[in-house]
Amino acid sequence: MKKALIIVDVQNDFCEGGALAVPGANEIIPYINHLTQENDYDQIILTQDWHPADHKSFASNNNKKVGESIILGGIPQFMWPDHCVQGTFGAEFHKDLIVPEGAHIIQKGKNTEIDSYSGFQDNNHFMKTGLDDFLKYHDIGLVEIVGLALDYCVKYTCMDAIKQDYITCIHFNGTRAVNIKPDSAKDTIYQLVENGVSVLG
């Protein structure tokens, strides 16, 4: 069975010193590099948050405070600080992350009107990113997922992979959580396992 590694949003704004830094984010980069260098994946895909500056998930564009919520595209939307704005340093992959030659990049969150946590589609399940088509074109049956953040973009990428009938694994040592709520990481792992995601070391 052909397998792919999906590296979710290892970008400067989610790493140490970034606008939306995930605690411990930098710790996972050597682990991810080890996976890409030491394992024989048929495909390696990186997802990249790629927001326009006027994206409506940003608190600054809604006269809201970070942490408040609005309804966006008919669904609740958490208000984030400005992050991963197209063409900025914050949107670039972290310099220590090895991007293998031939890796495929999927950009998401480009629609001003709706956020996109999952690497497969936006949050209201209206617009696809092309990730599923890419995986199916290359006959991928198993995906391993790492990156940032466990309780948001990694979680929803895993959930959508399961829904698209991929055998789905998450590397626990290759991800970290935002942990807006104290038990968010633990609860996310339980939820993923309940839905058929396998947890690797």
As annotated, the active-site residues are 9, 108, 153
According to DSSP, residue 138 is labeled T
How many CB atoms are located within 10 Å of the residue 135 CB? 24
Cα separation of 87 and 72, whole Å? 24
DSSP H/E element including 192: helix 184-194
Distance CA 188, CA 191 (A): 5
Strands (E), 14-139: 43-49, 69-72, 75-78, 104-108
- The CA distance from 71 to 83, in Å, is 19
189 secondary structure, DSSP code = H
Classify 4 in phi/psi space as left (phi over 0), alpha (psi -120 to 50) or beta.
beta
| CA distances in angstroms from 101 to 16, 94, 105, listed in the order given | 25, 16, 11
CB neighbour list of residue 38: distance below 8 Å, 6 or more residues apart: none
